[in-house]
Amino acid sequence: MTDQSITDQNTSAEKPWGGRFTEPTDAFVERFTASVGFDQRLYHHDITGSIAHATMLAEVGVLTAQERDTIIEGLKGVKADIEAGRFEWSVSLEDVHMNIEAKLTERIGITGKKLHTGRSRNDQVATDIRLYLRDEIDVIAAELNRLQSGLLDLAEREAATIMPGFTHLQTAQPVTFGHHLLAWYEMLVRDADRLQDCRKRVNVMPLGAAALAGTTYPIDRSITAKLLGFDRPSENSLDSVSDRDFAIEFCGFAALLMTHLSRFSEELVLWTSAQFDFIDLPDRFCTGSSIMPQKKNPDVPELVRGKTGRVNGHLISLLTLMKSQPLAYNKDNQEDKEPLFDTVDTVKGCLKAYADMIPAIEAKADNMRVAAKRGFSTATDLADYLVKKGVAFRDAHEIVGKAVGFGVAEGRDLSEMTTEELARFSDVIGEDVFDVLTLDGSVQARDHLGGTAPNQVRAAVARARKGR
Ligand code: ARG
């Protein structure tokens, strides 16, 4: 549904709240204050909430069974119209709630006017957003899970592939590619955990708070909560209509997730460059240049890295929106939707792209190995070797530093020196030094929980698949 389908012809249309007003709303103010251009996306949840509300009202005797049925039938008709593109949204009816209610009354007559009994748009919109966000959280959780499974598969495949590990983006020590991928996986485990934790606080029902103080009708909020799948009704009516901390929390989750994806992206961009040349991304995830025929650009990771900015920005928007708001509902809160919707859309898009792309990564194991050898990545292994032969660690550090200096001058790795050459730096060095100076020896030696050894990677994958 686009903005074009919204009419503002009937500016003078009667407002559901028009009773006390003596002149029509200024045409600009009407457009300025309307949210229907973006909150129409809540139509499905708005109708679901209304059906539950009407059902509860009948249960407690505020509506008759017949009124309830008429309202529910009418709401279903409105929904069908919206989904068939037959619904004309009106700016003069301000938002999704009043648009739907007006259409309902148009369809079923005065019974439609009874739906809003014991309710306000303030608790209605808070309920709609929570229902919407709960559904989206479940979609996002599933997509996140798909990405995690892809990472586990790739990590298992690359459990013994050796690459340089970096600190300060300088070659540090050899690691296995599988181990590196599992580092990404761990970040996502925490993101998934945060998302589920956030869901608990989203899944609380504000409906029944009405405008701010509750309602004089004998409502039973446990009925609506149950019908809508909420864990429980909220405790305080003022809080229920005013706070958007659940949306802020979701955006906090999203900002961290995107921050993680931006880190993966940065590495993928580096790794696909001619300078690193560690991996290949299939053509379907890349695009070319209109001027340089040779170019194959890693657009997907670049774009995900870029989109992190808007998601982080939305978190700040919502925090700032909420800051200093007095109780209870304020119109400010209408501004919660666009940042939230865009966060949901962006996160879903980025996760889909990543879940599709990760399993398609092709590791260039030979290039990784050559790179791991450059930069004296087994220097620490040599120091550990000396320590195990009785040299104090500080002295070992010094000895290896000198050997590396020699290697730099000669253009050779430690493993490419002879035993005699190495023994010049310390007489405890013997033939067996080459067991630790090789890349495979180095990664295999880190054979403990959380270490980079290939069998540790495989064990970690197995634990992760079992849900640990
Ligand atoms: N469109 C409004 C929003 O998104 C709905 C609630 C309006 N309530 C009010 N009293 N004006 O927040």
Q: Which domains does the chain have, with CATH numbers?
A: 3-117 (1.10.275.10), 122-217+232-369 (1.20.200.10), 379-437 (1.10.40.30)
Q: Determine whether the shortest distance from the Cβ of 333 to ligand 1 is under 6 A.
A: yes
Are 302 and 269 in contact, with CB atoms under 8 Å apart?
yes
Q: Is the pLDDT of residue 8 over 60?
A: no
Sign of CA dihedral 54, 59, 63, 67: positive
Question: Is residue 123 within 6 Å of ligand 1 at its C-beta?
Answer: no
Give distance in angstroms: CA of 255 to centre of ligand 1: 26
Q: How confident is the model at residue 214 (pLDDT cuts 50, 70, 90)?
A: very high
**Helix axis angle, 299-322 relative to 245-272, nearest 10°?**
160
Residue 441 phi/psi, 5° resolution?
A: -60, -40
Beta strands 162-167 and 170-176, pairing class: antiparallel
Give me the active site residues, please. Answer: 168, 289
* Ligand 1 atom closest to Cα of residue 337: 4
Contact residues for 222 (Cβ-Cβ < 8 A; gap 6+) = 233
Measured from the CA of 94, which atom of ligand 1 is nearest? Answer: 1
How confident is the model over 112-125, as a mean pLDDT? 98
The residue whose C-alpha atom lies closest to atom 3 belonging to ligand 1 is 334
Residue 15: pLDDT band (50, 70, 90) is confident
Is the pLDDT at 3 greater than 70? The verdict is no
Q: Across residues 246-267, what is the average pLDDT? A: 98
**What is the pLDDT, as a whole number, of residue 296?**
85
Is the shortest distance between the CB of 125 and ligand 1 below 6 Å? yes
| pLDDT surpassing 70 at residue 21 | yes
- Nearest CA to 278 out of 358, 360, 361, 363 is that of 363
pTM above 0.85, yes or no: yes
Per-residue confidence (pLDDT) for residue 293, from 0 to 100: 82
Nearest to 56 by CA among 213, 233, 199: 233
d(Cα 313, Cα 334) in Å, to the nearest integer?
Answer: 17
> Measured in angstroms, how far is the CA atom of residue 95 from the centroid of ligand 1?
8
Atom of ligand 1 nearest to the CA of 95: 1
Note the pLDDT of residue 7.
63
- Going by pLDDT thresholds of 50, 70 and 90, the confidence category of residue 1 is very low
Instruction: Please answer whether residues 143 and 350 qualify as being in contact, where contact means their C-beta atoms are separated by less than 8 angstroms.
Output: no
Q: How far is the CA of 222 from the centre of ligand 1 (A)?
A: 24
At 420, which helix (H) or strand (E)?
helix 419-423
Going by CA atoms, what residue is nearest to atom 11 of ligand 1?
331
Ligand 1 centroid–CA 135 distance in Å is: 21
Closest residue CA from atom 4 of ligand 1? 334
Helices vs. strands in the chain: H and E counts, helices first: 19, 8
Mean pLDDT of 175-190: 98
48 CA from centroid of ligand 1 (Å)? 18
